[in-house]
Structure 1
Amino acid sequence: MKKRTPTNQLSLLNYARMSAILFQGNALTTAHYDMTALQKNILYMVQSQLGAEDAPGKEYLVRVRDIMGLTSTKNPYEDLRKSTETMMQKIMTIAVPDGFIQVAPFSSVQYNTKEGTIAICIDSKLRPYLFNLDNRFTTYGLTEAMNVPGKYSKRLYEMLSQWKSMGLMKVNMPDLRLQLKLEDKYPDWDNFKRRVLDPAVAEINQHTDLFVKYYPERESRRIALLKWTIKLKSTHIIPPTLSELEQRLISEFKLRPDQAKYITTNFDPVFIYKKLHEIVIHNADRKIVSMGAYTAKVFGVL
């Protein structure tokens, strides 16, 4: 039986033995758009809160101090105001069957200076491309993505993360320029290498879990293709054994052994831990009367 995958492909996973991970649909990973490093960090903070069952128009609260903790700025509110204002004018071009969609990521942004928070709404046209993405998704670390200082480094980190399990990424130069919104900028190869590629590689290798190198390939004297090698320095996920998962499902979540076995057989371990985390959060105020019955319902087992 094919393992099921998370219905929410943009989720922050915080649970035992895993660090913060973002799941992002490949269509967004390879989308064409330009954002500053600060704008990307704001988007990462929103992405980390998205849920597949969120109501349309839901506001996602971002604390100013959380953003500023990883961003160097002398005027936090002024820098954020400018970033979110122009971000609602940024257009993400996302490939879809038979064409593409152009959409701004945020539909509204409301500041509460007294509380030090920003309430952000996702554009309704973007939401269908954030969830129910089957197996077409990229995983990368939230902390790593936010710590990478350059805007090109952030985008390349996402793209390379899509191929980290293969250890190799190939991208032709026209596609790379489109994805980075650099169609006419830095036309000279040496300048492009010096201003974009080399700084990005240095930052990715220093600040993330990846160690990457690129190798240009020429056609008719022009650089036509970049071949990237990708090595994982450390993994975000320490894969649990099936017995560990089953034991936790039985002891902590009160399932029968046959129910626990069914879940570990038919669901991906990442999805299992994500749902368990959601159950723990839901039960923070001890409202769940029967943990076993509730967990079984979440996973659709009898």
Structure 2
Amino acid sequence: MNNLSVTKSNSLIDASYQLNVQAQKLVLACLGKIDSRTDIPKEMKITAIEYADLMGIPNARRDLYKAADSLFDAVIILKDEHEEIKLRWIQKSVKKIKGEGAVIITWTDEVVKYISSLQSRFTTYKLRHIAELQSGHSIRLYELLMRFNSTGERVIYLNDFKSSLGLSNKYPQFKELNKFVIKPAVAELNQRSDLTIKYETIKKGRSVAALSFEFKQDNQLKMDI
């Protein structure tokens, strides 16, 4: 398994977006190829062989093209107290080089500013720690927690959590969100990533207002069972 690292702006990690698991792994595989000490290339090429090696995906060519198709329409929403900005991951449709089993991605100028830096406001994690994950929700939760890996704790308002996973308009009842998103993501991370996680709800009155996560990193990557 590879030992590449992914470095992302914390603004991007806390942004709202929803990508299927193949598209998330395509983005992360591309970021894993970037040396964060150098300028980020506006255009990147990744082959199905690289994709398979980086992410442990057996049907790499099919999944690579599927990920490329979904990435063009994906939107990132960055919010602060003053404004909401919508960005696109890529500037134009991903070019597929079918003879090589490869794709060429052209990042938007806005995303280039966010996706890599060595400054302290950025989060870095090993690509191999998310390569075995089968759920896009699990990958996003991993990123949200790793932003606070120095403390091993994170409290996040429920609305912010749903927004970060692109679920603002879904699962109005917490019990559904918990059953179909939170519990499965935590269970998969406990089984397949380098994190051991437990969480509790924080209530305001009778309603769940926030989630409190405690987590720690294991030195040895867990195996799929």
Q: Same fold, TM exceeding 0.5?
A: yes
Is 1:207 aligned to residue 192 of structure 2? Answer: yes
Alpha-carbon distance between aligned partners in 2 of 1:88 and 1:168, rounded to the nearest angstrom: 34
CA offset at residue 66 of structure 1?
3.4
Matched, 1:125 2:110: yes
* C-alpha separation in 1, matches of 2:52 and 2:84: 34
Deviation at 1:131, TM superposition (A): 4.3
Q: Check conservation: 2:18, 2:74, Cα contact below 8 A.
A: yes
Q: Report the equivalent of 1:134.
A: 119
> Could you tell me how far 1:45 is from its partner in structure 2?
1.1
Matches of 1:45 and 1:55, distance apart in 2 = 14
1:26 equivalenced with 2:10 (yes/no): yes
Report the counterpart of residue 99 of structure 1 in structure 2.
83
Note if 1:217 corresponds to 2:205.
no
Tell me which structure has the larger Cα radius of gyration.
1
Greater RCO (Cα-Cα under 8 Å, separation 6 or more): 2
Q: Are 1:148 and 1:203, in contact at CA under 8 Å, matched by a contact in 2?
A: yes
Q: Tell me, what secondary structure is at the counterpart of 1:181?
A: coil
State whether residues 56 and 124 of structure 1, in contact with CA within 8 Å, keep that contact through their aligned partners in structure 2.
Answer: no
Tell me the TM-score normalised to structure 2 length: 0.86
SS at match of 2:130: helix
Distance 1:235 1:80 in 2: 29
Structure 2 counterpart of 1:61, one-letter code? K
Q: Deviations over 1:240-287 (max 9, x none)?
A: xxxxxxxxxxxxxxxxxxxxxxxxxxxxxxxxxxxxxxxxxxxxxxxx
Compute the displacement of 1:177 (Å). Answer: 0.9
Residue 56 of structure 1 and its aligned partner are, at CA, apart by 6.0
Matches within 5 A, 1:67-82: 67-68=51-52, 70-71=56-57, 73=59, 76-77=61-62, 79-82=63-66
SS in 1 for 2:86: strand
Question: Which piece of structure 1 moves more, 34-43 or 81-90?
Answer: 81-90
Q: Please give the per-residue CA displacement for 1:10-56, whole angstroms capped at 9, x wherever unaligned.
A: xxxx8xxxx32212111111010000000000001111123464476
Instruction: For structure 2, list consecutive stretches of 5 or more residues without a partner in the other structure.
Output: none
Relative to structure 1, the CA distance from residue 66 to residue 133 in structure 2 (aligned partners, 3 Å threshold; closer, same or farther) is closer
Q: Is 2:218 the counterpart of 1:233?
A: yes
CA deviation digits over 1:124-151, x for unaligned, max 9? 2211223457310112220122221101
Is 1:45 aligned to residue 4 of structure 2? no
* Cα deviation 1:84-130 (Å, max 9, x = unaligned): 22311111112469534321112242111111211111112211223
Select the structure that is richer in helix: 1
Count of aligned pairs: 216
Q: Which 10-residue stretch deviates more, 214-223 or 226-235? A: 226-235
User: In 2, distance between residues paired with 1:42 and 1:175?
Assistant: 25
2:137, 2:165 within 8 Å by CA — same for their partners in 1? yes
Aligned to 1:163: 148
1:36 maps onto 2:1 in alignment: no
Structure 1 unaligned blocks of 5 or more: 1-13, 237-302
Which is strand-richer, 1 or 2? Answer: 2
Aligned residues: CA RMSD: 2.4
TM-score normalised by length of structure 1: 0.65
Q: Verify the 8 A CA contact 2:61 2:101 in the aligned structure 1.
A: no
Identity of aligned residues (%): 25
The correspondence of residues 285-296 of structure 1 with structure 2, limited to 5 A, is: none
When residues 55 and 215 of structure 1 are mapped into structure 2, their CA distance, relative to the original with a 3 A threshold, is closer
